Amino acid sequence: MNKLKSTIRIRENTRRRNFAIKLVLLIIFEILYESERPLGPVFEQFVILGYVFRAVIFGLSSNLIISLGRFITLSLYLRHREEAKVQPNFVLGIDRIATLLNVLALLISVMLAFGIRPLEFLTSITIVAAAIALLTKDYITNIVNGLIMMFSDQLEIGDKVQIGRHTGFIRDITLINLVLKNDSGEIVLIPNSMALSSDVTNYSKNNTHQVIFDFELSNQPHLDLNSLENELSQPLKSHPELVISEGANLHILERKSETLLLRFQFPLKSSERSAEPQLIKKIDQTLLKWNHERRQNQLL
């Protein structure tokens, strides 16, 4: 978290430099637009050029106001938060809101550049705007749900979660989707509305981080779950500094006609999450060995 806070501060310093550059540009454009010389006669002859200058001034002013609000909000947040409690979600949420406001300011600037008055334009297309709102209802719902997740501490980037039948680590929260990366490295995009309306299991909100290992075995009556659990727990006992092996557990998730869907999970010390891939490989190897020995015994 200390590294996260330092990274945030570095980015904010870069944004402050950009803020200063845009402020200088705004002052230059404002002086040129308001002065009678040297561009006063030019604006009278080329009206469209005056519209463009006014649009640029509005765009820069809006961007500076949005950036200033963002700077103040994040400065207050970082100043009153301990390093261990800095949430990347909050920073992400502020960035998303700033992006939305900047896009809105850009659209208004484009209207001003063509000599269109935004308020008159909006009132003239009320019916069209209502139709657009109906067509984009799902997108608006996803955006609202995405912002809710960004400003809450229930789901954070880096958490391991299960949403429906998908399990993986949260890699990003956009205004439309929740981006998961599963154990096989595949990227899964889940709509934000689905993420908030489905049952969600967050394995990272315990004092320890739970490692989940799902697999299928043939449905046979002589299958001894206790023996298999002990076998899978053996490689964990050699890593007491990483794993709490006493918390390992094997249970049946789903019974099918020919196979059983099993889940083996064990608590990993929260500060050692980087060791998870290597531990899963060891569990894989143990399971392959156990399955091979079982087949050999069945042939005898």
3-state secondary structure of 13: helix
pLDDT at residue 271 in the model: 53
Number of alpha carbons in the 13 Å side-chain half-sphere of residue 274: 1
pLDDT at residue 84 in the model: 44
158: alpha, beta or left, given left = phi > 0 and alpha = psi -120 to 50? left
Q: Which residues contact 8 (CB under 8 A, 6 or more apart)?
A: 74, 78, 86, 91
Give the domain 160-202 fold: SH3 type barrels. (2.30.30)
Write out pLDDT tens, residues 161-177: 888 888 888 888 888 89
pLDDT at residue 106 in the model: 93
Against a cut of 0.85, is the pTM above it?
A: no
Task: Find residue 201's DSSP bridge partners.
Answer: 162
Tell me the CATH number of domain 209-299, given options 1.10.630.10, 1.10.3300.10, 3.30.70.100, 3.50.50.60.
3.30.70.100
Domains 160-202 and 209-299 agree in fold: no
Closest to 90 in 3D by CA, of 5, 180, 178: 5
The CA-CA-CA angle for residues 290, 296, 298, to 5°, reads 105
The DSSP bridge pattern shows strands 177-181 and 166-173 to be antiparallel
pLDDT at residue 65 in the model: 93
3-state secondary structure of 82: coil
pLDDT averages per 10-residue partition of the chain, 300 residues: 59 80 87 67 73 88 90 76 58 86 91 82 70 76 85 79 84 88 84 85 69 82 83 86 80 82 80 72 87 72
First-to-last C-alpha distance (Å) of the chain: 56
pLDDT at residue 88 in the model: 65
Domain ranges for the chain = 2-124, 160-202, 209-299
Six-digit token string for 14: 């870069």
Are the C-beta atoms of 93 and 58 separated by less than 8 Å? no
